[in-house]
Amino acid sequence: MTDILYGLNPAQREAVTKTEGYVRVIAGAGVGKTKALTHRYAYIVSELGISPSNILCITFTNKAANEMKKRIKAMLGEEFDTSFVATLHAFCTRVLREDISKLFYPENFIVLDNIDQKKILEEVYDEMDIKMDTASFKFMIDQIRYYKNRITYVEYLSDPNFDYSTLVSGKKTDEIMFRYIKKQRKYFGLDFFDLINFTIYLFRAYPDILKKWQNRLHYIMVDEFQDITAKEFKLIRRLSEGNQNLFVVGDPDQNIYEWRGANMDVLVDFEGWLNNRCFENQYGFRCHDIIMSENYRSTRPILAVANSLIEKNSNRVKKELFTQKQGGQTVEYFHGKNDKEEIKYITDKITAHVKDGGKYSDFAVLYRSNYVSRFVEQGFLTANIPYVVYGGIGFYERAEIKDVLSYMRLVNNPDDDLSFLRIINVPRRKIGKIKLDVLKNYAEKNQVSLYKALSVCYLYDSFKGCKAGEFLAAMENLRTLADTLSVSELLSRIIKDTGYELYIRESGDIERLDNISELLRGIVTQETEFGEHLSLATFLQTVTLLRDSDAPDKSDCVKIMTLHTSKGLEFETVFLVGLTEGIFPSARSLEERKKDALEEERRLCFVGITRAKKNLYLTESEGFGVKGYSKVPSRFLFDIDPALLHMVGEVPQEIRHQTAVQSKEFDGGNNRVYKKGDQLRHKVFGEGIIEEVDEKTRTYFIRFTNGIKPISFDYKGLSHIF
């Protein structure tokens, strides 16, 4: 007992020793919550004598589960079974391996990953003679995921005699989706959404199986509880009803996944959700609250900035991070006149640190959106600073950037066969393998390029029905325009005239369009700074040199990543860059989810700030953004008490005013009144619970006793049940 409790602060000790009942721990960033969780597990085993087979500990990622197992075994010994320290998906897989036969699936069912899903979709697309690319794959997976939010599909998937033709509505996306689900059933494959849904359905259909697991699991602990969905909570609550020992730990201030279904309210109003949010039963559960706010990661100045920012949010559990550490450098806020000044400030700091004997790996550069990495990567390549895009792909390696650069290369040089092969069927022009073989044979026989071969072969009967003629006409026109248009103007014409912009828009992947817009913005900046006419050939040569530059050994390099990727990580020094209104907070998120999005964006900024251990730099610059608007500082910079920041550069008063004007556009309430998980009364259908909220169609999907109904935001016949 002494060893397990040794080194714990009072809040951690309370979390470890409060083993019975419902316990909610609000654990801020860097407060040692993993330590508390692992010590609590060890305490229950060694001091209460409970077998690990009766303890379930749910983590958010496999990485977190493995780290916890490692720490637990270091305390208890290697012989202890920690297989119930797992993600919720892994736990559900175990449940289903035991009893999925009840649903007419074999116990050796396949767990489908992204590659498996893509293979199944490829089969469907081949059957329907549709070309699949990365964008359409992502779009269809999103459609399937959205459909599977309603758990009713499990009922017919578990019926071996179900007639799938009854599901087809006539829409192509629906046909693709139901063909996919039918094939999934044929292969006995379950994706991650199915694992949760099948387990919930199994417990609902077979109460004896639920009872078996309730009796088995005497203690349940859940990490990162702020990121749980209402559906996942319902499953966990059901499991805990047997022994009523549920311990949850999380931080509402670090919930950054609401956009994909996480419901922070489950943690904020934990007791309310225990008792009356799932309307089948009413309970009288009480929970014990513990606040962990002593931070072991960051300095006092960094925590002061974090606290000052996040206190502006209203939907949270109030707390203030503090540390026993003394001293620390004041957080710097840099304002530049343009991107060039902003990246020079960053590279100068890094270079000076390395010259003084430091390492590149001491630094991380964080940004809100992937496209912001362009100016960072370009600056690092120019300054010969080694970097790695952590958890992502470098700007110039992204598919859409490679595509448009290939179009530009083909305009510049129609004999570029590599560029031709990359884009000839992007977007789809019905020029498949057979037609390409014809082109290759003609080109080899006549010693010409594939482009020139197409200019002859497109008249063949075998090329009828394809769009080769349209492609050639567009390219020839673009080659003519290249002599008179600037590079940026030419790129704008390329993406329109070739149909590439429409192709991206139809894919629904707006981030890819943002990347192209950022490339365009970078070209305009380059044209302005070049001092003379920037030719297409010169631009392409510059890009090639950037991509092929010999960087030093990347074992010691700066990590650059999105803020979402940085969650759970920590770094000696952090640059939080691109703090521009419209980029951060994201204008698109604010348009879609209003105040909810604003608070989530602020939480995301808080997460970025609290990644820093010793030094934190906040940067932004003037200029124009991807949509052509004038860039102004993020409102988040003015949420922070200015006394806590060391200002480098001066923000003109008119720019401060513009930030205030833009901020007011999104300072109102939400268009919707209710949220996912709310229990409501409909004046006709009676009591129900919101299972999904579609902001785009302004629709609630509410489960009533007679099924799920789509109810408009504007409908006045709804009222809360408290």
Name the residues annotated as catalytic: 33-34, 223-224, 254, 611
Q: Which residues pair with 645 in a beta bridge?
A: 331
| Cα gap 634→639, rounded to integer Å | 9
The SS3 assignment for 248 reads strand
Structure tokens belonging to residue 313: 């949010």
Beta carbons within 10 angstroms of residue 698's beta carbon: 12
| Cα gap 127→549, rounded to integer Å | 44
Beta carbons within 10 angstroms of residue 685's beta carbon: 18
Q: Rounded to whole angstroms, what are the CA distances from 56 to 83, 92, 264?
A: 9, 12, 22
Closest to 424 (Cα-Cα) out of 436, 440, 442, 408: 436
Compute φ and ψ for 364, nearest 5 degrees. -135, 140
Task: Please say whether the beta carbons of 600 and 695 come within 8 A.
Answer: no
| Cα gap 516→179, rounded to integer Å | 33
In sequence order, the 6+-apart residues with CB closer than 8 A to the CB of 484 are none
| Cα gap 143→557, rounded to integer Å | 38
In sequence order, the 6+-apart residues with CB closer than 8 A to the CB of 704 are 682, 685, 686, 687, 688
Torsion of CA 77, 39, 237, 99, to 10 degrees: -10
Alpha-helical segments (H) within 356-485: 373-382, 399-412, 417-423, 433-446, 450-457, 468-481
| Cα gap 631→647, rounded to integer Å | 18
The SS3 assignment for 485 reads coil
| Cα gap 357→432, rounded to integer Å | 56
Q: Which helix (H) or strand (E) holds 234?
A: helix 230-240
| Cα gap 414→450, rounded to integer Å | 9
Q: Which residues pair with 387 in a beta bridge?
A: 558
Q: Which helix (H) or strand (E) holds 237?
A: helix 230-240
Q: Which helix (H) or strand (E) holds 502?
A: helix 500-507
Longest dimension (CA), the chain: 85
Report, in angstroms and rounded to the nearest whole number, the Rg of the chain calculated over CA atoms: 28
| Cα gap 509→452, rounded to integer Å | 33
Q: Which helix (H) or strand (E) holds 221?
A: strand 219-222
Closest to 376 (Cα-Cα) out of 670, 56, 621: 621
Task: Please say whether the beta carbons of 76 and 101 come within 8 A.
Answer: no
| Cα gap 510→325, rounded to integer Å | 44
Closest to 547 (Cα-Cα) out of 398, 349, 359, 356: 398
The SS3 assignment for 670 reads coil
DSSP string of 96-160, one letter each residue:
HHHHGGGGT--TTPEEP-HHHHHHHHHHHHHHTT----HHHHHHHHHHHHHHHTSTTHHHHHT-T
The SS3 assignment for 612 reads strand
The SS3 assignment for 720 reads strand
- Classify residue 413 by its DSSP letter: -
Task: Please say whether the beta carbons of 702 and 691 come within 8 A.
Answer: yes
Closest to 420 (Cα-Cα) out of 463, 461, 454: 454
Q: Which helix (H) or strand (E) holds 289?
A: strand 287-292
